[in-house]
Amino acid sequence: MAVIEAKNIGIMFKLRHERRRTLKKSVMNIFKKKLSTHNFWALKEVSFRVNDGESLGIIGKNGSGKTTLLRVIGGIFKPDEGSINVRGKVSTLLSVGAGFQPELSGLENIYLNGTILGLKKKEIDAIADSIIAFSELNNFIDVPVKTYSSGMHARLGFSIAVNIERDIMLIDEILGVGDRHFREKCERKMSQFRERAKTIILVSHNTEAIKSFCNRAILLDKGIMIAEGQPEDVVEQYLKS
């Protein structure tokens, strides 16, 4: 059964930029703010299906629309064209430290994120120790996250995502962050999710991770899906491009 179904998705952004002008004209028009605009399609006519328990890899060059597509699946962006139908609760890990409040401690952010995802306090109480243990941030869990390194952000963010389980997990490049020990730990956890038939969407430039972890992949280029199929075949086309 398809848990994600995308039909001809299009996402359009209006890009504004100021025309070049002389210093005199710039001063005269300082309050007018005359800007030229043009439409930029970050995604165009993207269609695919993801079945329950499938692991889908999304690859492409920087700026190809990978993260934008994840945000559409996660409900952060609404398509300007086409439609997206997602069946099930989604856990989204789009970037290191996304959604963290810098002035709050690691523990306070655990409760904040849990609340945003719809958990009650007693439910967060039940998993807080597991989140802290997985993150290995015991000595820093009561410190404001603004003092965390990028690796520490990654540890906390991933630990929250995998302990607050959802039907569908969206992961953007997070497996490439942190030291080798933690990356291997994350990969083992993701393998456990796959064995338990969780649906996972993974964006990564690590083609070996895409080939070993995913059972299907799609390739984006300038917002257009140009390939879909077995990870080995899609990765080969990506590398050739």
pLDDT in tens, 151-205: 888 889 888 888 887 789 888 876 665 677 887 888 888 888 888 888 999 998 8
pLDDT at 57: 95
Give the pLDDT band (50/70/90) at residue 86: very high
Whether this prediction's pTM lies above 0.75 is answered by: yes
pLDDT at 191: 82
What are the beta bridge partners of residue 11? Answer: 43
Q: Where are the domains of the chain?
A: 2-240
214 has pLDDT over 80: yes
Superfamily assignment of 2-240 in CATH? P-loop containing nucleotide triphosphate hydrolases (3.40.50.300)
36 has pLDDT over 70: no
Average pLDDT over residues 54-66: 94
123 has pLDDT over 70: yes
